[in-house]
């Protein structure tokens, strides 16, 4: 694996690879890598000749400074995992390399509706920050394929919109959610959960599955109310639990049979914010 800290060196290297006919797959991350990240890497290795992974804890996407301070960091373990999982190129920039000055943080992308719901509503500034860093990373790497996790489903749609606003040809591949044995969606933030809360956290997924199982014969508002009550009684603070159309995240009042649907949830457990979702096919 070759590690680049400077954007211009990486761009030059990748341009040469492209001239030689090699396709580039890109897996952007914030590090503290787990099996979920590695599944993206595996998919990239299957589909592209050269796999690039970036590790950058992007300060502009944290709407809560405390969350940024506490975000898990484990670069030396990450390097080993990347080596073991056939990552070809690591981009490991420092903050100055991405944000040279305050002006570089001021670009705004019009995300429209996507910015007003769910994560956009509860984490103001989060998606603008994601777009800031992704625009820069896409310019530096200019990949043929971009591998993103369904775990952050709304982020996938936001980045899809960004790619179209930038008129880029990059193809986005959304990869399934990897889960721990109890069903908890893998996340770097899980490292901050105590072992008992980690067990409890799997109830978030179980709750979504039980809504899906009871879809026939119940309406969504009923199931939603019951689910929120159950989660709150277990010690979660639920921020949202919504049903939406998969294609554009239009929030739906109730189940519709002929559309691909998704149920999305965000909740705090012991001060740690967890998100999850479940796709429901008609």
**Residue 38 or 211: which CB sits closer to ligand AMP?**
38
**Residue 188 or 207: which CB sits closer to ligand AMP?**
188
Judge contact between 277 and 262, C-beta under 8 A.
yes
Could you list the residues that contact ligand AMP (CB under 6 A)?
29-30, 36-37, 39-40, 148-149, 151-152, 175, 177-178, 185-188
Q: Is 31 helix (H, G, I), strand (E, B) or coil?
A: coil
Annotated catalytic residue 108: no
From the list 37, 108, 126, 218, the catalytic residue is: 37
**Residue 176 or 271: which CB sits closer to ligand AMP?**
176
Nearest residue to 132 (alpha-carbon basis) of 105, 160, 161, 102? 105
**Residue 166 or 172: which CB sits closer to ligand AMP?**
172
- Shortest spacing between CB 248 and ligand AMP, in angstroms: 19
Nearest residue to 71 (alpha-carbon basis) of 55, 82, 92? 55
Burial 33-72 (b: 16+ CB within 10 A, else e): bbebbbbbbbbbbeebebbbbbbbbbbbbbbeeebeeebe
Judge contact between 240 and 268, C-beta under 8 A.
no
- Shortest spacing between CB 19 and ligand AMP, in angstroms: 28
Give strand ranges (E) for 83-165: 89-91, 145-149
Q: Which residues are catalytic?
A: 37
């Amino acid at each position: 694996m070759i590690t680049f800290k400077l954007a211009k060196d990486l761009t030059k290297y990748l341009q040469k690879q492209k001239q030689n006919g090699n396709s580039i797959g890109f897996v952007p991350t914030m590090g503290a890598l787990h099996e979920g990240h590695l599944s993206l890497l595996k998919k990239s290795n299957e589909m592209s000749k050269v796999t690039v992974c970036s590790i950058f804890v992007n300060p502009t996407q944290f709407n809560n400074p405390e969350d940024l301070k506490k975000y898990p960091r484990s670069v030396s373990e990450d390097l080993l995992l990347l080596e073991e999982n056939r990552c070809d190129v690591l981009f490991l920039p420092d903050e100055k390399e991405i944000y040279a000055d305050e002006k570089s943080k001021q670009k705004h992308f019009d995300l429209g509706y996507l910015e007003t719901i769910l994560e956009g509503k509860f984490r103001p500034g989060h998606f603008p920050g994601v777009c800031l860093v992704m625009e820069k990373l896409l310019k530096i790497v200019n990949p043929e394929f971009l591998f993103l996790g369904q775990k952050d489903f709304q982020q996938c749609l936001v980045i899809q919109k960004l790619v179209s606003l930038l008129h880029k040809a990059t193809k986005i591949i959304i990869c399934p959610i990897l889960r721990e044995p109890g069903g908890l969606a893998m996340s770097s933030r899980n490292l901050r959960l105590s072992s008992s809360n980690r067990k409890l956290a799997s109830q978030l997924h179980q709750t979504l599955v039980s809504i899906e199982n009871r879809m026939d014969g119940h309406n969504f508002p009923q199931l939603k109310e019951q689910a929120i009550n159950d989660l709150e009684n277990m010690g979660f603070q639920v921020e949202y639990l919504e049903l939406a159309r998969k294609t554009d995240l239009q929030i739906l009042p109730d189940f519709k049979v002929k559309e691909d649907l998704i149920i999305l949830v965000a909740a705090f457990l012991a001060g740690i914010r967890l998100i999850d979702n479940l796709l429901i096919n008609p």
